[in-house]
Amino acid sequence: MFYKDERIAVFIDGKSLFACSKALGFDIDFKLFRKEFSQRGKLNKLSYFTTLVDSEEFSSVKPLVDWLSYNGYNTVTKPVKEYVDTAGRRKVKGNISVEMTIAVLDMVPFVDHIIIVTGDKDFKPLVEAVQQRGTRVSVVSSIRVQPPMLSDDLRRQADNFIELDELRSVIEKPHHGSNGLHQSGKSTAIPDTSFVRGTA
């Protein structure tokens, strides 16, 4: 539930949002995303957090981050390292949970309602800490995919759960046109491509 005059802030876990929207089968139009939450209250802050792999000469995420920076989003990136585990599988070490937690807690005194776009159970203590300071918390993710993208513990802790699939009609990237960028960071004039593994 939103109130027209309440001060809100939105914090996006980029990797979680990308995985969730892809599992649901659609791309996010970030202009429409910003518009949607601007209409739900007095939007004080809109932040996007993501990781960038150090070893990549070109990251498909960086064009998106650059675009967001110029279009009303506060962007926070963190360099991470790719490594090969004992089974020979390539993995990425690092996430943005600490940076996002600090940013959310810093914003609490200035807003009435915080929206966290993630399904990661690691954010449950953060949600609880924000609530203890008198600020409401909504979580955006999805339970309409298998397995669900949202931790049950996180959903129970939040004051409100927003199903990402129910936002599809107002934030989905059109297949044609030039309104913003695909989540891959590509212009709409170029066929959409997937993010580099683990860097969304």
- pLDDT per position as a tens digit, 101-155: 999 999 999 999 999 999 999 999 999 999 999 999 999 999 999 889 999 999 9
Residue 20 placed within a domain: yes
Residue 197 placed within a domain: no
Residue 195 placed within a domain: no
- pLDDT per position as a tens digit, 154-198: 999 999 999 999 999 999 998 765 445 555 444 433 233 223 333
Average pLDDT over residues 45-60: 80
Residue 198 placed within a domain: no
Specify which residues 51 forms β-bridges with.
78
Specify which residues 12 forms β-bridges with.
48, 117
Split into its structural domains, the chain has a count of: 1
> How far, in Å, CA of 194 to CA of 137, rounded?
31
Residue 182 placed within a domain: no
CA 185 to chain CA centroid, Å, is 14
CA 100 to chain CA centroid, Å, is 10
> How far, in Å, CA of 112 to CA of 42, rounded?
10
- Which is higher by pLDDT, 58 or 198? 58
Structural domain including 151 reads 7-171
- What is the value of pTM for the model shown? 0.83
- Which is higher by pLDDT, 106 or 82? 106
Say which CATH number the domain at 88 has: 3.40.50.1010
Question: Which phi and psi (to 5°) does residue 30 adopt?
Answer: -75, -20
C-alpha triplet 153, 95, 7: angle, nearest 5°:
65
